[in-house]
């Protein structure tokens, strides 16, 4: 059971929903899933007896954006967000006994319909793993991605009336918050 195996299985089962993969990356390899197919793929990964990814370790959003236009030209990518899901299993292990995990990625534009201020939407996996509830709230709070179908999507770490999403690269710290100097 390896990542390659898993990729092939997923491709065979979900076809177009699997957008691609990087299996030779430095560090962790990953599999790209379309937003539309995410919940289905996750459900399969969790419940299929061959894989049993019952632990959702982490949900991260990586902001690929470069505020400096000079650097942006050299960056080699269009601005976008990557929602990264790290899954692992407490049931299944590699043959050598080490941890068995997979990285799923969903690519999404930085703003919905390219309109600044419109947060992009990704389906919620809270129905698959209950831990996704808080992770998605955190991700929404800090990186500004709306998880559609989430039971209770509100800020978790920042105050409820906080403006902006701090982990976005173009975020600017407010000058003042309830009379507290920000910068």
Q: Which residues bind other proteins (CB under 8 A)?
A: 25-28, 30, 54-58, 60, 62-64, 75, 84, 86, 88, 90, 93, 96-99, 101, 103, 129-131, 133-135, 138, 142, 155-159, 166-167
CB 126 within 8 A of CB 150: yes
Residue 114: is it exposed, middle or buried by C-beta count within 10 angstroms (0-12/13-18/19+)? exposed
Count of Cβ atoms closer than 10 Å to residue 30 Cβ:
21
Nearer to other proteins, 17 or 57 (CB): 57
Measured at the CA of 34, the angle between CA 31 and CA 38, to 5 degrees, comes to 85
Q: Which is nearer to other proteins, 36 or 157 (CB)?
A: 157
Q: Please say which residue, 16 or 160, places its beta carbon nearer to other proteins.
A: 160
User: How far apart are the C-alpha atoms of 88 and 95, rounded to whole Å?
Assistant: 15
Shortest Cβ distance from residue 108 to other proteins (Å)?
15
Q: Least Å distance between CB 106 and other proteins?
A: 15
Output the CA–CA distances (angstroms, integers) from residue 124 to 117, 129, 142, in the order listed: 20, 10, 16
Q: How far is the CB of 63 from other proteins (least distance, A)?
A: 7
**Smallest gap, in angstroms, from Cβ of residue 128 to other proteins?**
9
Q: Which is nearer to other proteins, 2 or 13 (CB)?
A: 2
């Amino acid at each position: 059971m390896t990542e390659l195996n898993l990729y092939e299985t997923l491709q065979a089962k979900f076809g177009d929903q699997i957008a691609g993969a990087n299996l030779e990356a430095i560090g962790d390899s990953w599999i790209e899933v379309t937003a539309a197919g995410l919940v289905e793929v996750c459900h399969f990964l969790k419940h299929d007896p061959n894989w049993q990814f019952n632990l959702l370790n982490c949900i991260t959003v990586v902001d690929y954006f470069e505020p400096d236009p000079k650097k942006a030209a050299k960056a080699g990518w269009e601005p976008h967000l990557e929602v990264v899901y790290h899954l692992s299993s407490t049931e299944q292990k590699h043959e050598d006994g080490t941890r068995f995990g997979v990285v799923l990625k969903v690519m999404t534009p930085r703003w919905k319909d390219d309109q600044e201020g419109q947060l992009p939407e990704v389906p919620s996996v809270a129905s698959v793993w209950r831990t996704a509830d808080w992770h998605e709230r955190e991700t929404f709070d800090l990186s500004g991605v709306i998880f559609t179908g989430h039971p209770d999507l509100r800020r978790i770490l920042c105050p409820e009336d906080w403006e902006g999403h701090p982990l976005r690269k173009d975020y600017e710290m407010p000058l003042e918050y309830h009379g507290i100097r920000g910068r």
